[in-house]
Amino acid sequence: MDKSLRGKFAGSVGAGPSSAGGQAGPSGRGGGAGRGRGGAAGRGRGGAAAKAAEADDVDIASFKGLFNKDLRIMMFGFGDDMNPLDETVDLVEDIVLEYLTEVTLRAAAVSSDTLKPKMDEKDLLFIMRKDPAKFSRMKELLAMRQTLKEARQAFEGDVLPEGESGAVGAGAGAAAP
């Protein structure tokens, strides 16, 4: 959440940086023993957690408004008004963008710690391993993505019959050696 909204809603119940259950760390987030958002920044760990503390340095303004329409629909689905206040949608969007930035930076840090050139879904699964609900949902979505990919290939006729080898969708003129 950007600093202006953080200050604007600091007096609200449950919205302040220390409402997460711990002391505010150097980034202004709750970071003590509680299960608050952004707790990795104040726990004194090195490696991936320290790199994730840099989430405040990332400019997320370019993504502002990207989830606005989808968040309105989701908020209505979870019991909000059909047309929620713009300020509410902006606040939820700020929270979502902050969370996505933090998780992505943590996964990138894990990827760089393992000396991989690119971040992949295994890094995200590693980050989510301590939250069983998110971990299982992520595995379910990855399995669904694979199923849809295979179904799309079968529908397009790009799947090779058993026994043949070669690249899938190599082109019409490509011949196997």
What are the CA-CA distances from residue 159 to residues 19, 92, 173, 176 (Å)?
Answer: 54, 43, 16, 15
The answer on pLDDT for 127 being more than 70 is yes
What does the pLDDT read at residue 166?
52
The tens digit of pLDDT for each residue in 11-34 reads: 333 333 333 444 444 444 444 444
Give the dihedral sign, CA 95/97/103/105: negative
The answer on pLDDT for 139 being more than 50 is yes
The tens digit of pLDDT for each residue in 31-60 reads: 444 444 444 443 344 454 444 445 445 677
What does the pLDDT read at residue 63?
87
The SS3 call for residue 176 is coil
Band of the pLDDT at 98, cuts 50, 70, 90?
very high
Band of the pLDDT at 114, cuts 50, 70, 90?
confident
Mean pLDDT across the chain? 72
Beta strands in 41-115 (DSSP E): none
What does the pLDDT read at residue 62?
84
CB 62 within 8 A of CB 123: no
> Which among 4, 52, 5 is positioned nearest to 26, based on CA atoms?
52
The answer on pLDDT for 146 being more than 60 is yes
